[in-house]
Amino acid sequence: MVRAKGKILRSPPDSSRAGIFVAAALLTAAALVAWANSFRGPFIFDDLPAIVENATIRTLALPIALAPPHSGQPAGGRPLVNFSFALNWALGGTDVRGYHALNLAIHVLAALTLFGVVRRTLRSRPLAAKFAADATPLAFAVAALWTLHPLQTESVTYISQRAESLAGLFLLLTLYASIRGVDSRTPARWHALAVITCLLGMATKEVMYAAPLLVLLYDRIFFARTFREALRRRPWFYSGLAATWLLLGWLVTQAGNRGATAGFGLGITPWHYLLTQCGALIHYLRLAFWPTPLVLDYGIVTNNSLTEVWPQAALLLALLGATLIALAWRPTWGFLGAWLFLLLAPTSSVLPLATQTIAEHRMYLPLAAIIAAIVAGVWRILGRRSVAVFIAIAILFGTLTARRNIDYRSAISIWQDNIAKRPDSPRPYGELASALSNAGRAPEALAAYETAVRFLPNYPKVHYNYAVALDAAGRLDEAATQFELALAQLPTLADAHYELGNVRHEQGRNAEALACYEAAIRLRPDFALAHNNAANILANFGQTDEALAQYAAAVRADPNLPDAQYNWANALAHVGRFADALPHYEAALRLAPALVSAHENLGISLFNLGRYADAVRELEIAQGLAPDSESIRANLATARARAAR
């Protein structure tokens, strides 16, 4: 390949803008059609801790919403992802449509950026002779097939996997801006944009580590003669890109092992994880060509011996060797192989991801290299006749994507689909049981939980959820047993201590219930419900001072808990402190205006303070809410008589 000495080689002049706009419009329309049926898919699995239970996204007061970095949820240690969830929350709360709309918008923007990257790559000097004339339709084919491929559904339809698609968008923007900086008359602007998007990507997901490396490799292959020349031509640009690693390094350090979900010493050795990834990577490649069956949760699959995966390992070594050879002799093809391996390296090499050894969303960006190679190869064989082939495949992919989105229409349907495809994966049984329970299908939920605890005997979350369902069904002894199993495996599970306390109270074993509530409070000092229930038992035991202290703690933890305000008022009234009880009755009624007993007891307290007219007013409200109550009728008659005198 002949290159101009001392100069970075530039692309030929731009072609018709009309074709570009038409391609962009078609890409957008195709994505909207394929994902039109996804907008009502509910929150599932990781969506719950990432969004529904994530207190850090309830406000935009901070410049950026920071999820706890050590948490195992998808936004932990990924501030920009968490901020995007906070933005959705501010606009629509728990309305899933907004989250799906933003996910799809990110995917469409990534597709348009990929179109731009591929188009400009095909018009670069090494490829221009073969592809420049057809760069726009070829780039459109790559972007369309990548956009509509059903393997992308996990990254787009599954809301919390926004981390993957958003990082993909920023990596593509970084590469696109770098390419534009070569041809631009004002390269500094494009270089600044590339550094900014690279920095944003580092705050999104760890896979972004590859961006500076891919930009440098791209420059070396398509614009410069050597790495040294590429670095010499744009030293400050590459310094800026490299500096973004500092943010990523800090975030990774802060995240630690991501809530015991990623890292060493979590039960999977690097060697066993690497063996597992040999099979996983070949599986991903197969899904790129034949995208079925698609599975949300593969379980914690591991391989313990090379003999189990030696054919896959041999094939991967051959592909890696071919990539290295191509980088030396056919670098444009080598770039596609490097793209694939560099992007999969963080999740598919030796660093164990203990709770998810196989995941389809990891192919979000790597899939682009496979599709680009296929499109280029088919075009070389069929020429422009391949357009019909690409259209047919795009329609097929779009149809399969829409069909896959149907599986996400409910938590029940996606987990039933998962179990049908991977009956050996245990976690979906527990998730299906929870979904059935939430849908009010108690008998089916209990049956599913029985299966789940057989598959997951050492999974405290399943025991806990099973216990909650048993408690709701009135099977108290069995519920207590499951709560105790959950606590034996995870003694720090405050909710299990609290719920076990409720069961013991229902069984009349109040001393044990109090011990459970106190254990929950030790683990979570701001557990308002546990403080309230502990106070109720202390009050029943006649330990009034201790009960009042617990009620006060409950209200401090949650001033908007009407039960705590009401119970505190009752305890004060019980010892004759009627004046002190009044503000708590009033607070309870502000929070729950239809609380009949609060109106009645407030009326009685006012009566005891000699405020008979006020007592009549409250008791009349109580009677209006409960006209058949004998006690209210009697108290109201007494208050009216005293008020008349």
- pLDDT value at position 119? 96
Rounded to two decimals, the pTM is 0.85
Question: CA 596, CA 585: separation in Å to the nearest integer?
Answer: 11
DSSP 133-179: GGHHHHHHHHHHHHHH-GGGHHHHTSGGGHHHHHHHHHHHHHHHHHH
Residue 628 DSSP symbol: T
State the sign of the Cα–Cα–Cα–Cα dihedral 27, 33, 37, 39: positive
State the sign of the Cα–Cα–Cα–Cα dihedral 308, 312, 316, 318: positive
- pLDDT value at position 20? 93
Residue type for position 317: L
Structure token pair of residue 644: 């008349």
Per-residue exposure over 290-299, b if at least 16 CB sit within 10 Å of its own CB, e if not: ebeebbbbbb
Q: How many CA atoms lie within 13 A of 251 on its CB side?
A: 25
- Name the β-bridge partners of 262: 353
> How does pLDDT run across 247-257, given as a tens digit for each residue?
999 999 888 77
If we measure between CA atoms, which residue out of 557, 554, 558 comes closest to residue 567? 554
**Contact residues for 628 (Cβ-Cβ < 8 A; gap 6+):** none
**Residue pair 191/237 in contact by the 8 Å Cβ criterion:** yes
- pLDDT value at position 59? 81
CA 110 to chain centre: 19
- pLDDT value at position 290? 96
- pLDDT value at position 9? 46
Residue type for position 298: Y
Give pLDDT < 50 ranges for the chain: 1-9, 11, 13-14, 63
**Residue pair 241/191 in contact by the 8 Å Cβ criterion:** no
**Contact residues for 441 (Cβ-Cβ < 8 A; gap 6+):** none
Question: CA 126, CA 476: separation in Å to the nearest integer?
Answer: 73
**Residue pair 470/448 in contact by the 8 Å Cβ criterion:** no
Question: CA 367, CA 261: separation in Å to the nearest integer?
Answer: 25
Structure token pair of residue 442: 């108690």
Reduce the secondary structure of 270-289 to three states and give it as a string.
HHHHHHHHHHHHHHHHHHHH
**Residue pair 131/122 in contact by the 8 Å Cβ criterion:** yes
> How does pLDDT run across 193-243, given as a tens digit for each residue?
999 999 999 999 999 999 999 999 999 999 998 999 999 999 999 999 999
Structure token pair of residue 114: 């990929």
- pLDDT value at position 321? 97
Structure token pair of residue 45: 């699995």
Q: 622 to each of 209, 256, 546, 640, how far by Cα in Å?
A: 65, 56, 30, 14
Structure token pair of residue 150: 């059903």
**Contact residues for 137 (Cβ-Cβ < 8 A; gap 6+):** 19, 23, 384, 387
Structure token pair of residue 185: 């008359």
